[in-house]
């Protein structure tokens, strides 16, 4: 029985790892907006929304004292996941696509905030825990802002709120421009 458990472990874990590694993603790039062909998932028919953007931030880091001075290197990416994002029932194509792009832009804003936080981080004794806390705080802020955006715009139905959000996010991205990839 123990060998069966080991066999299942070695069969299942590589499949999970493989599927995570193979997840198609598009990295955020200035001047390269999303288009409807990027939304490849089957629409959720039970959902009343016209589209869904699945985006987020990821990071990696390494730490070295080889030079005699502690050095933290890091990379932060903003990703859009085509196979988890969908569209249906498009009424105003450009307007709705701009709404979905703003979700991606909000993720980029938080990636820039994470890059700044990592640049400002003073290396301490608990680096792994500190960086995890930084990421978790900024990720929580990102999720809260995504939810606030949809709430205030009524998922793109409130055009005056939508325009305020477009300006706000553009201004915030500009504020953190130094932390663009």
pLDDT of residue 22: 74
Q: Which two tokens mark 23? A: 């997840």
Quote the CA–CA distance of 38 and 32 in Å, as a whole number: 12
The pTM (predicted TM-score) of the whole model is: 0.86
Quote the CA–CA distance of 121 and 123 in Å, as a whole number: 6
3-class DSSP state for residue 105?
A: helix
pLDDT tens track for 38-94: 999 999 889 888 999 999 999 999 999 999 999 999 999 999 999 999 999 777 899
């Amino acid at each position: 029985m123990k060998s069966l458990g080991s066999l299942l472990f070695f069969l299942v874990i590589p499949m999970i790892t493989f599927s995570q590694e193979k997840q198609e993603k598009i990295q955020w790039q200035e001047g390269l907006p999303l288009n409807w062909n990027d939304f490849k998932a089957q629409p959720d028919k039970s959902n009343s929304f016209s589209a869904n953007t699945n985006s987020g931030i990821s990071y990696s880091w390494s730490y070295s004292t080889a030079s005699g001075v502690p050095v933290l290197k890091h990379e932060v990416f903003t990703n859009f996941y085509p196979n988890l994002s969908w569209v249906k029932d498009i009424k105003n194509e450009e307007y709705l696509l701009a709404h979905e792009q703003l979700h991606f832009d909000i993720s980029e804003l938080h990636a820039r905030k994470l890059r700044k936080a990592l640049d400002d981080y003073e290396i301490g004794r608990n680096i792994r825990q500190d960086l995890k806390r930084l990421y978790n705080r900024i990720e929580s802020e990102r999720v809260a802002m995504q939810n606030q955006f949809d709430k205030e715009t009524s998922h793109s139905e409130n055009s005056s709120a939508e325009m305020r959000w477009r300006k706000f996010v553009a201004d915030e991205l500009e504020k953190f421009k130094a932390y663009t990839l």
